[in-house]
Structure 1
Amino acid sequence: MFRASVAAFAAAITFAATARAETAMPFALDWKFEGPAAPYFVAIDKGHFAAEDLSVEVSEGAGSLDAIPKVATGAFPVGFADINSLMKFLDQNPGAPVTAVMMIYDKPPFAVVGRKSQGVAAPKDLEGRKLGAPPPDGAWAQFPIFAAENGLDMGKITVEPVGFPTREPMLAEGQVDAVTGFSFSSTLNLIRLGVAEDDIATLLMADHGVALYGNAIIVNTEFAKANPEAVTGFLRAVAKGWKDSVADPEAAIAALIERNPAADPALEQRRLQMAVADNVLTDWVKANGMGDVDAARMAKAIEQTRSVYEFQNEPDAKLYFDPAWLPTDGSLTFE
């Protein structure tokens, strides 16, 4: 069973104590301050968190495998991480007090991004070529499902372990023929590096048979049980931040640039708009609102995960996603 540290226990007590007034809810991102992080800064700047009596500070991350333990130990009450990585974490750490409570990437950005000039334009083209993949990458973790769904022979693909900082530069320089990554990150990073846009093939795994969900807001369940109103308020503020960012992406990026002045505003606005169009504002979300998941699709996602990952314990969707804290006041719907 998962055992929280003394420090984590103390942190949980601190979180609970502040709930009577303004609740401190530091938020652990999975990645850097890039376009898709802008909605959380909008929620701060527009006072959406303050309206819920919340004090929120956003911290950068180094991938989902970094964000999940931060929340599980109580170092952060809330975070942002890939739900598929969360499944495996909970399987390996049964009883860990962490679960997803609000789906953000209804359609995950897991992708294979290749260069047409190097022969990669479709999934089958990966055979006989070199694929760059960072070992901790969420997209790489799902690649076996993508390969199985598209009948790829893994023995014919040369996998080159690469670091996150060198992934796109290696593809731009022709050292690999394709990489795994998030669609809006790898694609735009290549453009920034000077690769012609019409030379880039972005193969979104969700368009090629992968039924998985993507990143979600995750919560420390001990904190959530002690502070249910704070968690629901946090999710309501997040939804407002996303809706504001959809309505005015330029203003959203201005909020981001305040936190990351070195970023390219035009590039990050495009990255945000790609995430909205491809991952957040899907047809399902337009019809049902953001935040929840479809039970049948979630069951299929678990089965796809089971096909490439040997669960130590019987998988249970209720452990990975709990909609109990989602607001029910209509704040999750897009007009």
Structure 2
Amino acid sequence: MPANRQILLDNRPQGEATANNFKLVTTDTPALADGQVLVKHHYLSLDPYMRGRMNDSKSYAASQPLGEVMIGGTVGEVVESKHPKYQAGDQVVGMGGWQEYSVVDANQPGALRKVDTTHVPLSYYLGAVGMPGVTAWYGLVRIIEPKEGETVVISAATGAVGSAFAALAKARGCRVVGIAGGPDKCKYAVEELGYDACIDYRQHKDMYSLAKALKEVAPKGIDGYFENVGGMILDAVLLRINAFGRIAVCGMIAGYDGQPLPLANPALILINRLKVQGFIVSEHMEDWPQALTELGTLVAQGKLRPRETISQGIESAPEAFLGLLKGKNFGKQLVKLI
């Protein structure tokens, strides 16, 4: 059985996460028991939610245990199987974590899923046609429920979720506005992802300046907002949202280091009779097949062409992850393991 390099959570961050919170180890891969499958990972997904799991605090999911392999989505190839449903060579997606190999109990529902790479590249199953894509689909379709002609806005517009959101919202006849950090990302959002407009939040020192920019690109106001960031951006959107607007709350990355995120004008939720709903996409598995079918079709049609930022080797994962938290990635952040 092959040696397996793994990255463990060694200690919890005190404020901002650092590379010293992680530890690289090499272990022996155990022999397979009946019903198990050995997967060699080709790509590892890095996602903002992982930062929250590093904290030892009450949240929607259990904290990442110390001394164990960091949680994370993976795609790869079955190299050995003791389960009748899987054969060597099958390409699969799962939650193998920050390691080069995983031993998976294939009898556990949802632990492993075969994927077809005929029209969809393997890495896309960690982004556009994976958890981030389904996240965009659920927030848009089930919470924002857009009507044709409405204006929808998303923060972190060029990341894995934002890339899918743009394609899904344009397919529903919406005006789609992104908020991203830096002129290059905004250019990419409009020219490649299909956004009608994109605002560089780094050009705005406060919520009033950002709200003024939103008024220029969304003169009819905002009907739906997909929240990934929080803080000043949410405050600015609330100043421009229409009555009966809908807000899907997916992430609050501005507060992942533990600082509070006060809301400047909470009364606007009442004044505008807003629907504000947080969600965790893994709690809505019944919607995944429909969402994945639409996302795969958009990729096959060339209407969803997400960019990927890829770091090489398991040892690169901590620094790539810290860069993701600071917005250094362009599109979906992956680690290539082969």
The two structures share one fold, judged by TM-score above 0.5: no
Superposition TM-score tier, normalisation by shorter sequence: 0.3 to 0.5
Which has the higher relative contact order, 1 or 2, with Cα contacts under 8 A spaced 6 or more apart?
1
Which structure features the higher share of helix residues?
A: 1
Which structure features the higher share of strand residues?
A: 2
Relative to the length of structure 1, the TM-score reads: 0.35
